[in-house]
């Protein structure tokens, strides 16, 4: 286990009707008179959530300016609009109502307002944010874990580059998580969310750091819980208890606890981000394609860890066969689970052309100058090989 510091400053308010506390909670952290409310579709207006949030804010004397239209794979253009609104209206607090895309947009606006340059500088690594407006979230989609994470991912429409920033500064000051707000999500979004949270855990699980048994087992327990409740949630969308398990798992998967004392990987996310940047495919769907292919490509690097994953997470019996057979059976069972969620596992399943492997690999590795990942370093040529494994022809 390596040295680490762990601090997660996001206050979590979890459970039924907790969205009614949003005004009170903002008042706890700020004396603002108005907030920028960032959201995606008008679904939050149709189902009454917008009115509930606005009513709670008005009780505290807090007005609302709206910034709707957040898309999956959130766009830099909308972030710039939000920055302009905050500056013109002297707004000091941003409230995201939605999933990871809305929350990531809010975080980006937060760091962009006090910065004199272009917010995209942060995502290119040219500058590091030093200040931010306070942000908070009412979470309606369990997936990204952005409600308690240090991450924000953004897509630049000019060239369709998808990049991220990661620092404690941008964690929301609080997040409200009511599982009931996720009841009416389409099954496809639920499936994408389950894949996303699972891969967040696995990016931490596949590590070269030794003597991390505690966090190994925390990761395995979280994965087993998601597997047990994932398909059940699709079959019983109004089952509060099942939904609560999934929603809380999504937060814990990405709040930093599971990576304490270990070096994380994140190669698969970089590979998948280029797919969603290029083709605008949902993030979870890109990961259901990429992650098993990455596993096939790298498993021989540490067969013992992949055997452990197969046995402890997917119940593969050690008597199943030799090391390779056990490792590959664990990967196969994960693919089958993704299929049960009706998630794509190849480019063809997602209706994507297999014609931009070199372009995506070049973007991800900055012209083959910076490899991705830590478990196994993946350069441009290796990434192209993994993309090939993501096709029906290449998949095992």
Residues 218 and 163 both lie in one domain: no
Core vs surface per residue 168-198: b (16+ CB within 10 A) or e: eebbbbbbbbbbbbbeebeeebbbbbbbbbb
Mean pLDDT value of segment 10-31: 97
The yes-or-no verdict on residue 304 having pLDDT over 80 is yes
- Are residue 242 and residue 216 in the same domain, yes or no? yes
Please tell me whether residues 165 and 272 are part of one structural domain: no
Q: Please give the tally of structural domains in the chain.
A: 2
What Cα–Cα distance (Å) separates residue 315 from each residue in 57, 220, 310, 330, 331?
48, 11, 6, 8, 12
pTM, two decimal places: 0.94
Question: 4 in a domain, yes or no?
Answer: no
Determine which helix (DSSP H) or strand (DSSP E) holds 166, and give its type and residue range: strand 161-166
The answer as to whether 393 is a domain residue is no
Measured CA to CA, the distance from residue 146 to residue 104 in angstroms comes to 7
* pLDDT at residue 396 tops 80: no
Task: Examine the domain organization and report whether 171 and 218 are in the same domain.
Answer: no
Residue 395 within any structural domain of the chain: no
Boundaries of domain holding 145: 9-179
245 and 135 share one domain: no
198 and 157 within one domain: no
CATH code of 96's domain: 3.40.50.1970
CB atoms within 10 A of CB 51: 11
Is residue 367 in a domain?
A: yes
**Per-residue model confidence (pLDDT) at position 357:** 97
pLDDT of residue 237 exceeding 70? yes
Tell whether 253 and 134 lie within a shared domain: no
Task: For residue 4, give both structure tokens.
Answer: 């680490």
Tell me phi and psi for residue 154, to 5 degrees.
-140, 145
pLDDT single digits (tens) 271-291: 999 999 899 999 999 999 999
Contacts of 233 (CB under 8 A, 6+ apart): 190, 194, 239, 242, 243, 246
List pLDDT tens digits, range 140-161: 999 899 999 999 999 999 988 8
Answer yes or no: is 2 within a domain: no
141 and 124 both lie in a single domain: yes
Question: Which of 179, 201, 232 marks a domain boundary?
Answer: 179
246 domain residue, yes or no: yes
Distance CA(344)–CA(352), nearest Å, equals: 10
Q: Mean pLDDT score of the chain, rounded to an integer?
A: 96
Residue 3 lies in a domain: no
The CB-based long-range contact list for 51-60 (8 Å cut-off, 24+ gap) reads 52/19, 52/20, 53/19, 53/22, 53/95, 53/97, 53/138, 56/19, 56/20, 56/21, 56/22, 56/23, 56/24, 57/22, 57/23, 57/26, 58/23, 59/23, 60/23, 60/24, 60/26, 60/27
- Say whether both 197 and 162 belong to one domain: no
Q: Are residues 43 and 142 in the same domain?
A: yes
Could you give the CA distance from residue 369 to residue 375 in angstroms, rounded to a whole number? 18
- Predicted confidence (pLDDT) at residue 394 exceeds the cutoff of 90: no
Q: Are residues 244 and 317 in the same domain?
A: yes
Final residue belonging to a domain, choices 179, 204, 223: 179
**Residue 393: pLDDT over 80:** no
CB atoms within 10 A of CB 61: 12
Residue partners of 56: CB distance under 8 A and separation at least 6? 19, 20, 21, 22, 23, 24
Residues 61, 206 share a domain: no
Q: Which of 159, 179, 199 represents a domain boundary (last residue)?
A: 179
Q: What is the percent of the chain with per-residue pLDDT over 90, rounded to a whole number?
A: 94
């Amino acid at each position: 286990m390596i040295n680490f510091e762990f601090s997660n400053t996001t206050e979590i308010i979890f459970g039924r009707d907790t969205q009614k506390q949003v005004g009170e909670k903002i008042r706890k952290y700020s004396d603002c008179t108005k907030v920028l409310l960032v959201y995606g579709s008008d679904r939050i207006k149709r189902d009454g959530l917008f009115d509930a949030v606005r009513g709670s804010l008005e009780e505290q004397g807090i007005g609302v300016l709206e910034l709707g239209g957040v898309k999956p794979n959130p766009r830099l253009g909308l972030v710039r609009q939000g920055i302009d609104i905050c500056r013109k209206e002297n707004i000091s607090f941003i409230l995201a109502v939605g999933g990871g895309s809305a929350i990531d947009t809010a975080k980006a606006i937060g760091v962009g307002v006090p910065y004199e340059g272009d917010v995209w500088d942060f995502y290119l690594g040219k500058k590091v944010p030093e200040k931010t407006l306070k942000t908070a979230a009412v979470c309606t989609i369990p997936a990204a874990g952005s409600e308690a994470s240090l991450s924000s991912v953004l897509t630049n429409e000019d060239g369709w580059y998808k990049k991220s920033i990661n620092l404690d500064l941008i964690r929301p000051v609080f997040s409200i998580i009511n599982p009931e707000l996720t009841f009416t999500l389409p099954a496809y979004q639920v499936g994408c969310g389950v894949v996303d949270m699972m891969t967040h855990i696995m990016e931490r699980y596949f590590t070269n750091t030794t003597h991390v048994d505690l966090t190994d087992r925390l990761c395995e327990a979280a994965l087993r819980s998601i597997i047990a409740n994932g398909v059940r949630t699709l079959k019983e969308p109004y089952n509060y208890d099942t939904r609560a398990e999934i929603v809380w798992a999504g937060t814990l998967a990405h709040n930093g606890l599971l990576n304490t004392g270990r070096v994380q990987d994140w190669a698969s996310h970089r590979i998948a981000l280029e797919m969603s940047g290029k083709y605008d495919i949902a993030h979870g769907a890109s990961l259901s394609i990429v992650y098993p292919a990455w596993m096939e490509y790298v498993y021989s690097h540490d067969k013992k860890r992949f055997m452990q994953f197969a046995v402890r997470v997917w119940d593969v019996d050690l008597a199943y066969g030799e090391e390779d057979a056990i490792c590959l059976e664990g990967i196969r069972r994960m693919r089958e689970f993704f299929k049960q969620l009706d998630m794509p596992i190849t480019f063809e399943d997602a209706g994507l052309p297999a014609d931009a492997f070199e372009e995506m690999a070049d973007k991800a590795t900055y012209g083959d100058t910076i490899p991705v990942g830590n478990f196994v370093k993946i350069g441009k040529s290796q990434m192209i090989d993994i993309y090939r494994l993501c096709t029906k022809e290449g998949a095992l």
